[in-house]
Amino acid sequence: MEVTNPATGERVDSYEEDGQDDVEAALETAVETFDSWRDRPLQERTDLLSNAAEVLRENEQRYAETMTEEMGKPITQAKSEVEKCAWVCEHYSEHASEYLDEKGHPSPAGSSVKTVYEPLGPVLAVMPWNFPFWQVFRFAAPYVTAGNVGLLKHASNVPGCSEAIEEVFREAGYPEGAFQSLLVSSDQVEGILEDERVKAATLTGSGPAGRSVAATAGENLKKTVLELGGSDPYVVLDDADVEAAAETGAWARVQNGGQSCIAAKRFIVHTDVYDEFEEKFVEQMESYTVGDPTDEETEIGPQARESLLEDLHEQVEDSVDAGADLLTGGEPLDREGAYYPPTVLANVPEGCPVDSEEVFGPAAPVYEVEDEEEAIRKANDTQFGLGASVWSEDRERGERLAGRIDAGCVYVNQLVKSDPRVPFGGIKESGYGRELSGAGMREFVNRKTVWVE
């Protein structure tokens, strides 16, 4: 695996892929570890998770630099990502006992009936490059603490992050095999998932990758959780705080270089405030500092790969050719590295790429709508259903419209985010299942009924 720094185009490092013998050894180790790990008292597992939080914080700078070097995330955002991983570890360390507490049921006199939550075994996680630490920890913290063991197949452009995460668990004191990183190519995933020793799988990534994993898992009757793409609507109503909506919306579009499934991607604005929003939104998009991701002043770094920049630019160009108006940006920056500026398009034709496809970069289409009904129709006019944001000074109105948007989560007067305290996941082409909170922790357990007469 060759790693290239997207900010410079220079080769960073080379990693040897794991062969079939390595995979076999990892699977054997996972099974052996699970046999004892599942029986460890929950308190011991949560104590280790607290240790993991400490390891993350102690090595924050180094882990952040690895992210920045491999996929271009601005260093300040990379450090925030490491801190968020420490937070999710602390959250499950504190709340795992509550989430996994057995549940009693009504039963006849003289008997007791309850549901207990038991781990399944080795869980395969296929994870993406855009949040290379957070995506992993939001699966690993709950699932491993529930008594499962983890096998990570990370994206091929972040092998250093993959090995660093394995280091976190090792340094925290976890037994060998509780969490293992596999440096394998995507074409090896099917064989690993088919292996009877792997009991379940979770994937965050593209629709085609999700379908492939779901199909293989389905043929082998294995549980899956999929978090796929998104084209999240950002609805600004006529009574919204326009300045706040524009400022938050711009950041919701460009953070992490716009490379986020839950980024705000389609800005749907009521006609009464459209002109004001467009002006403030463009102004905000143009205000960001684009540059060297190792510089703490940088807000937008490069796209993670040159090919991703090319795909993004093609979407923008094809949309302009179809009739969209380019308000700012729209051309790769004339500098070394895969840099693309914050871009805004208006009068976007229906069916053009930025309207109908997921846009994975800092390009934002803005739509003008006449009323609430048109806003809801446009918000739901997508194959995706991950998140959505609604802006209104009337909180009851915002909540009412939130109930009509087809998405796994809707935030009123806030950007969409993943938070350890609440369930996260999508519907439609955005996948199924939930991560985080108690709902996420109980995805990969056997909900066993125990009846004692």
Residues 177 and 151 sit within 8 Å (Cβ to Cβ): no
Residues 70 and 157 grouped into a single domain: yes
Question: Residue 442: what pLDDT?
Answer: 98
- Catalytic residue from among 227, 278, 368, 429: 227
pLDDT recorded at residue 322: 98
Tokens representing 87 are: 């937070």
Rounded to whole angstroms, how far apart are CA atoms 132 and 324? Answer: 34
Single out the residue of 242, 329, 339 nearest to residue 9, CA to CA: 339
> Do 216 and 252 share a structural domain?
no
Residues 95 and 214 in one domain: yes
pLDDT at 265: 98
The CATH number assigned to the domain holding 274 equals 3.40.309.10
Give me the DSSP letters along 251-291: HHHHGGGG--TTSEEEEEEEHHHHHHHHHHHHHHHHTS-BS
Residue 133 within a domain: yes
Q: Domain containing 130 — which CATH number?
A: 3.40.605.10
Answer yes or no: is 425 within a domain: no
pLDDT band per the 50, 70, 90 thresholds, residue 239: very high
pLDDT digits (tens, 9 = 90+) for 264-273: 999 999 999 9
Which residues constitute the domain of residue 435? Answer: 2-228+430-452
Co-location of 303 and 154 in the same domain: no
Residues 132 and 251 in one domain: no
- Note whether 382 and 233 are within 8 A (CB): yes
**CA-wise closest residue to 159 among 183, 134, 133:** 183
Site of tokens 């085609």: 208
pLDDT digits (tens, 9 = 90+) for 133-186: 999 999 999 999 999 999 999 999 999 999 999 999 999 999 999 999 999 999
Q: Is residue 424 part of a domain?
A: no
Residues 399 and 441 in one domain: no
In a domain, 398, yes or no: yes
- Provide the pLDDT for residue 432: 98
Is 339 among the domain residues? yes
Cα 126 to Cα 129, 140, 143, 296, distances in angstroms: 10, 12, 14, 31
Closest CA to 154 of 177, 126, 175: 126
In a domain, 80, yes or no: yes
Residues 197 and 288 occupy one common structural domain: no
To the question of pTM greater than 0.95 for the whole model, the response is: yes
Same domain for 392 and 245: yes
Q: Say whether both 163 and 262 belong to one domain.
A: no
82 domain residue, yes or no: yes
pLDDT digits (tens, 9 = 90+) for 387-413: 999 999 999 999 999 999 999 999 999
Which one of the listed residues 161, 261, 352, 409 is annotated catalytic? 261
Is 227 labeled as catalytic in the residue annotation? yes
**In this structure, are strands 384-385 and 325-328 parallel, antiparallel, or unpaired?**
unpaired
Measure the CA–CA gap between 301 and 340, rounded to whole angstroms.
Answer: 9
Same domain membership, residue 158 and residue 32: yes
Residue at 403 is within a domain: yes
pLDDT digits (tens, 9 = 90+) for 25-35: 999 999 999 99
Q: Please tell me whether residues 161 and 24 are part of one structural domain.
A: yes
Task: Give the count of domains, the chain.
Answer: 2
How many Cβ atoms sit within 10 Å of the Cβ of residue 446? 14
pLDDT given at position 401:
98
Please confirm, yes or no, whether 370 is among the known catalytic residues. no
Asked if residue 121 and residue 158 are part of one domain, the reply reads yes
> Which helix (DSSP H) or strand (DSSP E) does residue 42 occupy?
helix 42-58
CA distance 147 to 222: 17
Q: What is the pLDDT of residue 330?
A: 98
pLDDT value, residue 415 = 98
The single residue listed with the structure tokens 């920049």 is 309
| Average pLDDT along the chain | 98
pLDDT tens per residue across span 289-342:
999 999 999 999 999 999 999 999 999 999 999 999 999 999 999 999 999 999
Q: What percent of the chain has pLDDT over 90?
A: 100
- When pLDDT is averaged across residues 103-124 and rounded to a whole number, the result is 97
